[in-house]
């Protein structure tokens, strides 16, 4: 395993931006950036052994600041939406910036995804650290977040997400990479086949805030218990699909959340033969089919990506958990350690 570190640019505030490449013995590699502790590239073989980049990303490091898609990065302090930009913790109401219709999204306009994280190589992996001060974007408590990436000889990308706080707060970290198993810039992913280990999902209102109850996927376009093409039912007359202009919902992963890493999702391209399996300790998985990619910064392919050219598989706490006491808690208290894992396992077959 070989790790290379290069200076990729300088942020608007003058902080150096680094890019890391971890290459295994077969030549497959991942590239990571200190902007948002993000995934820049994932170069893996197809069924014929030809390497291709299956992660969407931008050519220029500065394009990763303030982009709508949150391309490949770690959103925070709370990934996904919080209704009306407020929540109550220990009897106190906290107000957050509203940046997605009437709601708060991905930690706000100065969320973790728009920060340059400190970075280092350690024990064969790459670690990124961001210190979020008390009151930043309205969140209570000083929070230290650490994200560690490891790349294996078997083409598995493992993420460990950790955080500690000095005062009660909320935290929800995930990775927002967009995958196209035919290669970035190759067209839409609607023919990709998706399977989810989820028999229930979270219905939402028209602003994509959960209504508080789970619903069975059986008999609806939300049913991916058995693999099916992503685009097969995506234009059905169904509330979740109309609200999001395609899939942008959270599914409840079957089984008990906690320390155990569970199978969450499988994405397969019949065209390239590549398969991505996703495992996690998180209770939910947000599937977003890149419904609003149009107009994003120039991609590595030399143009802006179009809608539906990538799919994000975001393992996380449920949206708006701080306002839903029945959901698995997102509260972190002093002395506790937020510790979650996500594994993206790539393979190729006939």
Domain 2-348 has CATH 2.70.98.10: yes
Q: Which of 127, 266, 314, 340 is catalytic?
A: 314
Q: DSSP labels for 123-183?
A: TTEEEEEEEEPTTGGG--S-EEEEEEEEE-TTSEEEEEEEEEESS-EE-B-----EE-TT-
Cis-peptide into 79, omega within 30 deg: no
Q: DSSP labels for 55-67?
A: B--BSSGGGGSS-
Residues of the chain with pLDDT under 50: none
Q: Which of 176, 184, 192, 268 is catalytic?
A: 176
pTM of the entire structure? 0.97
Helical residues (DSSP H) of the chain, grouped into ranges: 239-244
pLDDT value for 260: 86
| 109 token code pair | 């306009």
pLDDT value for 256: 72
Active site residue 314: yes
Active site residue 206: no
Q: Strand 178-179 relative to strand 311-316: parallel, antiparallel, unpaired?
A: antiparallel
pLDDT value for 66: 96
């Amino acid at each position: 395993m070989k790790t290379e570190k290069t200076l990729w640019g300088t942020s608007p505030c003058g902080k150096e931006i680094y890019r890391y490449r971890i290459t295994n013995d077969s030549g497959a590699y991942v590239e990571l950036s200190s902007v948002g502790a993000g995934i820049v590239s994932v170069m893996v073989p197809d069924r014929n052994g030809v390497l291709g980049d299956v992660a969407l990303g931008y050519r220029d490091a500065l394009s990763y600041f303030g982009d709508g898609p949150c391309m490949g990065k770690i959103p925070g302090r709370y990934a996904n939406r919080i209704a009306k930009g407020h929540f109550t913790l220990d009897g106190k109401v906290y107000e957050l910036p509203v940046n997605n219709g009437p709601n708060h999204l991905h930690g706000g306009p100065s969320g973790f995804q728009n920060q340059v994280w400190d970075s280092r190589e350690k024990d064969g992996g790459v670690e990124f650290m961001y210190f979020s001060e008390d009151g930043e974007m309205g969140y209570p408590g000083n929070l230290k977040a650490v994200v560690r990436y490891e790349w294996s000889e078997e083409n598995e990308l493992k993420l460990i997400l950790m955080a500690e706080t000095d005062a009660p707060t909320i935290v929800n970290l995930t990775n927002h990479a967009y995958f196209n198993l035919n290669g970035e810039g190759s067209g839409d992913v609607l023919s990709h086949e998706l399977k989810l280990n989820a028999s229930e999902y979270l219905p939402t209102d028209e602003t994509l805030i959960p209504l508080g109850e789970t619903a069975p996927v059986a008999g609806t376009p939300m049913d991916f218990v058995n693999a099916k093409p992503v685009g097969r039912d995506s234009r059905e007359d169904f509330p979740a699909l109309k609200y999001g202009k395609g899939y942008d919902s959270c599914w409840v992963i079957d089984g008990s959340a906690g320390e155990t890493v569970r199978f969450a999702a499988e994405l397969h391209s019949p065209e390239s033969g590549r398969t991505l399996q996703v495992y996690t300790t998180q209770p939910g998985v947000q599937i977003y089919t890149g419904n609003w990619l149009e107009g994003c910064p120039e991609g590595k392919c030399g143009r802006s990506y179009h809608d539906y050219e990538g799919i994000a598989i975001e393992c996380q706490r449920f949206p708006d958990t701080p306002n839903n006491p029945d959901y698995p808690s997102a509260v972190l208290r002093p002395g506790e350690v937020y510790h979650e894992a996500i594994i993206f396992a790539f393979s190729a077959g006939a």
